[in-house]
Structures are given as C-alpha cells and as structure tokens.
Amino acid sequence: MNFLEWLVSGSIAVGDGSLSVPEVVGNVFGLASAILGMRRLVWAWPIGLVGNVLLFSVFASGELSNVVSEPLWGQAGRQVFFAAVSLYGWVRWTRLRRARRAGGVDDGRALTPRWATWSERAQLLVAGAIGYAVAYVALERIGSWGPATEAWILAGSMLATWGMARGWVEFWLVWILVDAVGVTTLVQAGYYPTAGMYGFYAFFVAMGFVVWWRAARASSRDLPTPDGSSVPSPEGAHR
C-alpha cells in the first residue's frame, strides 16, 4: 500500500481495534485550521480544505464506523459547505490581508475581529432556523443516522464558518454549541477520533473566543491623534 492509498483507506492499530487514517488525519488538518484561524492567518482556509475532503470520504461512506452502517450525511454535507465557504474565506481574507499590508499594517493577520451588529445577529438566527429545518427534512428523507442532531451540527457549522469568514467574534460561541451536540452524536455513532477531536477543539474554541474578543475590544478603543485628542478607530465603528 502506497502513501496515497494509506491516506485514503488505511487504518491505525490501537489496542484490539483500529482507527481510520482519513478520519484521524482529516481532524488533524481541521485542528490546524482552527489554530491558524484563531491567529487570523490566511493559511487557515487551504489547510481546512484538505481536512474537508478527507472527512467527507469518511462520513459519506458510513463504512468506517463499527457502530452504525448508515452514512452520516449531515456530517458529510457540512464538509461540502465548509469547502465552499473555505474558498470564499480564502479569497476574502487574502484581499483583506493585501489591503492591510497596503495600508502599512504588516502583522501577517488578515483582519481585525469585530462583534456582529444586531442586524447581522438577527440574520444569523433566521438563517440558522431555516437551515436547521431544511437540513432536518433533507437528512430524514435520505436516511441519515441522526437527523435531529445532525441537522443542528450542519446548520450551526454553516453559521460558524460564515461568521469566521466575516470576522465576527460570535462564531466561536456558535462552535461551542455545535461541539456540545457533536461530541455526543459522534460517540453514539462510533466515530471516536472525530468525537475526541471535537472535545479537544473545546479548549481551542474557548481560547479563540478570548483572543478574538480581546482583539475586538482593543480595536474599539479610541486612537490618539498627534495633538493628543482621540478619534474612534475604524474597526470600532462597525460595532
């Protein structure tokens, strides 16, 4: 078995059982993407794309779990959405990074986080409700393993990824709610590496929220002018 075959269909012996290579490696790429996203680096998006492809193959097959035989279409479907939004986020963050560099800011980061406006939050809530309803009906009809919980994981993941692309601090809070449901669902379905990674994500999600919250708070402070007065920062004006 060559490396590519091992990456796509290999297994890692663990005690009396084994772990799926694409499931483990896909989640490692997902974790790396989350860490890079916390640091607001453009590489978060292409790294995440690799993990999306690997995890889609895991959940769409339904054969890598020793507990359930049905595909987890909600989990597989969100990888497709992740890939689409990752392309959008990659392009958007690249443009923002270039704009910051052209403006004299060369810290390597793509953007300054901000809190979403109340209008944007309302849009997220509406989109989340509609997304959950549509996902539930679709997953139930195609025979996914757990449509009720998978629908939330799918809809919540969509909102969180979109919020990250837009640079909203709230996206970390949405991830916390997604992970809370995801860990239980994946353990019951027998996808232990992914369930463990969800639990491990919780630490980085909490850290990411604090990092982005502090950056947003710092950007909203008044900036001093040469005469000693102050003016609101451009980032803070979005709040």
Residue 110 buriedness (CB in 10 A; 0-12 / 13-18 / 19+)? buried
Mean pLDDT of the region 199-214: 87
Structure tokens at 155: 């809809």
Residue 85: pLDDT band by 50, 70, 90 thresholds?
confident
* 220/134 Cα distance (integer angstroms): 37
Within a domain: 4: no
* 23/123 Cα distance (integer angstroms): 33
Identify each DSSP E strand in the chain by its residue range.
11-14, 17-20, 222-224, 230-232
* 74/145 Cα distance (integer angstroms): 9
Neighbours of 102 (CB within 10 A): 9
| pLDDT greater than 80 at residue 18 | no
Within a domain: 210: yes
Closest CA to 30 of 18, 43, 17, 48: 48
Residue predicted with more confidence, 236 or 29: 29
Within a domain: 121: yes
Q: For tokens 């979403």, what's the residue? A: 116
Note whether 186 and 107 are within 8 A (CB).
no
* 76/224 Cα distance (integer angstroms): 49
Residue 1: pLDDT band by 50, 70, 90 thresholds?
low
| 51 residue type, one letter | G
Within a domain: 239: no
Instruction: Output the pTM of the full model.
Output: 0.74
Identify each DSSP E strand in 41-88 by its residue range.
none
Neighbours of 103 (CB within 10 A): 9
Within a domain: 238: no
Q: Could you list the residue range(s) of the whole structural domain that residue 195 is in?
A: 19-103+112-221
Q: Which pLDDT belongs to residue 167?
A: 93
Residue 149: pLDDT band by 50, 70, 90 thresholds?
confident
Within a domain: 232: no
* 110/90 Cα distance (integer angstroms): 10
* 162/80 Cα distance (integer angstroms): 13
Number of domains within the chain: 1
Within a domain: 235: no
Q: What angle do CA 234, 235, 239 make, to 5 degrees?
A: 110
Closest CA to 198 of 214, 175, 228: 175
Within a domain: 45: yes
* 236/10 Cα distance (integer angstroms): 49
